[in-house]
Amino acid sequence: MSHIVDESVENYLQGLIPDRDEVLREMEEQAAKEKIPIVGPLVGRLLWQLCRVAGARRVLELGSAIGYSTIWLARGVGEEGSVIFTDWGEENARTAKGYFERAGLLGRIDVRTGDSLEILDQLDGEFDLIFNDVDKQFYPTVFEKAVPRLRRGGLLVCDNVLWSGKVTEAGADEWTEAIRKYNRLIHETPGVFSTILPLRDGIGITMKEA
């Protein structure tokens, strides 16, 4: 992944944050070794903070991989909150459960495997925060399905919305075009207010106003 943020600035930011605990560090090492996409600690801290600011107690994660971002979210919702983990991979889910147990968070995380969007359709009720990190061609569909499921004031948070800068190139590949469409939707749709942060690969934060 090419850098959206200047590499020296990225390194400066990384140097400011406290070291992670053993579980998160091990997950970071596994992700680097096996080329598993995770959000990293800077975005992880943002997810934790957004949960706290929004007072989130019920969170849904679409596309959880080995559960790195799930841990940040689960810590953000606190002991009274819950996070639903979704991922296609049974192996990812088994790996994630091991990390959740070691982190003392298994009791507040509901691990589900299968198509994340189908799982969303099967769930009842509203969510305080939905974090999206599924395959990029589904981003517009995520927006259409997720926003109606948020409470008023709830947040839809989306990873990779700058896509290594490729979003500046009109007529690019299918995944890039889907992200470009998503970015238009979150800014042009009535009833939501959105901001894109150029952190890591771009984070889109959309608040449901009505």
Smallest Cα–Cα separation from 60: which of 25, 20, 23, 87?
Answer: 87
Residue 63 token pair: 């596309």
pLDDT band at 2 (very low <50, low <70, confident <90, very high): low
Bridge pairing between strands 127-132 and 150-159: parallel
pLDDT of residue 188: 98
pLDDT of residue 4: 84
pLDDT band at 210 (very low <50, low <70, confident <90, very high): confident
pLDDT digits (tens, 9 = 90+) for 37-87: 999 999 999 999 999 999 999 999 999 999 999 999 999 999 999 999 999
pTM (2 decimals)?
0.96
Residue 131 phi, psi dihedral angles, 5° rounding? -110, 125
pLDDT digits (tens, 9 = 90+) for 172-199: 899 999 999 999 999 999 999 999 999 9
- Residue 39 neighbours by CB distance under 10 Å: 24
Rounded CA gap, 154 and 166, in Å?
Answer: 29
Q: Is the pLDDT of residue 3 over 90?
A: no
The stretch 117-128 carries a mean pLDDT of 98
pLDDT digits (tens, 9 = 90+) for 165-174: 999 988 789 9
- Measured between alpha carbons, how far is residue 61 from residues 41, 43, 97, 179, 198 in Å? 17, 14, 15, 18, 21
Domains belonging to the chain, first-starting first, are 7-208 (3.40.50.150)
pLDDT digits (tens, 9 = 90+) for 134-164: 999 999 999 999 999 999 999 999 999 999 9
